[in-house]
């Protein structure tokens, strides 16, 4: 009997232990993984990892109170237009179900403090930096553009990631126009890129076969011409996109430009 009582009091004290770590584990971990994810885990996830969420929040908000208010609000009233995560990822996961009434505001405040103090982990930040660096190198190696400086943004990519955000505030009319620009750009670049890739393979094969450079001189000239063309399409895309956006909208996009 004594033993049962002891056990009971033990379990009840465990049940009432409401540290931030416990509350986060009990209420959020069924969807948000709390350990540092690796990129290969992403396809099997139900929701972004807590590391990723706080990484994105920190990217757009600096003030602690603003961050806490955002978390408290989002968990109770989630909505695609409010997200700080990338719009295309949110679409993939589906919007988070509201936990209003399931988690008390008091517990939520403790959870938010715990999230802010513990995420993202330095390991996650280091990993993201590495992934971004590799993405950049890969993009450069595969680039059909003549100008690859970082100051020349890929606006359409930035827009896709921020498409539904209230802070960007794209109107339906803007979205329609932007989709036309994106489609035209992709079509133009895609067609020329295939030609460039084919010509580049011919040049590479010739050099592997130890042929004289003069045998592929015309291909090299053609590659230069095509790359100039693709670059002009890119510049046109930037001009057409920025003409549709307001100064404030361009300003909003800048922090996401990695």
* Binding residue (CB under 6 A) for ligand HEC from 34, 36, 37, 48: 48
The answer to whether residue 93 forms part of the interface with ligand HEC (CB under 6 A) is: yes
The answer to whether residue 196 forms part of the interface with ligand HEC (CB under 6 A) is: no
Distances (CA, A) of 51 to 2, 48, 122: 44, 8, 10
* Binding residue (CB under 6 A) for ligand HEC from 34, 49, 75, 244: 75
* Binding residue (CB under 6 A) for ligand HEC from 33, 49, 84, 168: 84
The answer to whether residue 230 forms part of the interface with ligand HEC (CB under 6 A) is: no
CB closer to ligand HEC, 84 vs 159:
84
Q: For the chain, how big is the Rg over CA atoms in Å?
A: 25
The answer to whether residue 77 forms part of the interface with ligand HEC (CB under 6 A) is: no
> Which residues lie below 8 Å from residue 45, measured CB to CB, with a gap of 6+?
33, 37, 93
CB closer to ligand HEC, 81 vs 201:
81
Question: What is the distance between the alpha carbons of residues 97 and 157, in angstroms, rounded to a whole number?
Answer: 27
- Give the sign of the dihedral formed by CA 256, CA 237, CA 232, CA 145: positive
Q: Is the peptide bond before 120 cis (omega within 30 degrees of 0)?
A: yes
Torsional class of 78: left (φ above 0), alpha (ψ -120 to 50), beta (otherwise): beta
- Span interacting with ligand HEC, options 94-102, 191-199, 201-209, 220-228, rule CB under 6 A: 94-102
* Binding residue (CB under 6 A) for ligand HEC from 32, 114, 227, 234: 32
Number of residues that bind ligand HEC (CB under 6 A): 25
């Amino acid at each position: 009997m004594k033993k049962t009582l002891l056990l009971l009091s033990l379990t009840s004290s465990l049940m009432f232990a409401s540290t931030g770590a416990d509350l986060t584990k009990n209420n959020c971990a069924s969807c948000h993984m709390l350990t540092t994810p690796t990129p290969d885990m992403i396809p099997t996830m139900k929701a972004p990892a807590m590391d990723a969420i706080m990484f994105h929040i920190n990217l757009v908000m600096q003030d602690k109170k603003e961050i806490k208010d955002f978390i408290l609000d989002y968990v109770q009233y989630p909505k695609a237009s409010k997200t700080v995560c990338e719009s295309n990822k949110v679409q993939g996961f589906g919007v988070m179900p509201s936990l209003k009434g399931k988690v008390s505001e008091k517990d939520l405040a403790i959870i938010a403090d715990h999230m802010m103090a513990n995420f993202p982990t330095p390991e996650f930040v280091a990993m993201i930096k590495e992934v971004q660096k590799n993405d950049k190198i890969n993009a450069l190696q595969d680039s059909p553009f003549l100008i690859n400086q970082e100051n020349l943004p890929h606006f359409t990519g930035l827009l896709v990631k921020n498409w539904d955000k209230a802070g960007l505030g794209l109107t339906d009319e803007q979205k329609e126009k932007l989709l036309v620009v994106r489609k035209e750009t992709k079509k133009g670049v895609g067609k020329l890129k295939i030609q460039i890739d084919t010509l580049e393979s011919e040049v590479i094969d010739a050099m592997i076969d130890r042929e004289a450079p003069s045998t592929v001189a015309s291909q090299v000239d053609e590659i230069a011409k095509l790359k100039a063309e693709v670059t002009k399409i890119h510049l046109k895309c930037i001009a057409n996109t920025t003409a549709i956006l307001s100064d404030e909208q361009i300003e909003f996009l800048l922090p996401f430009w990695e």
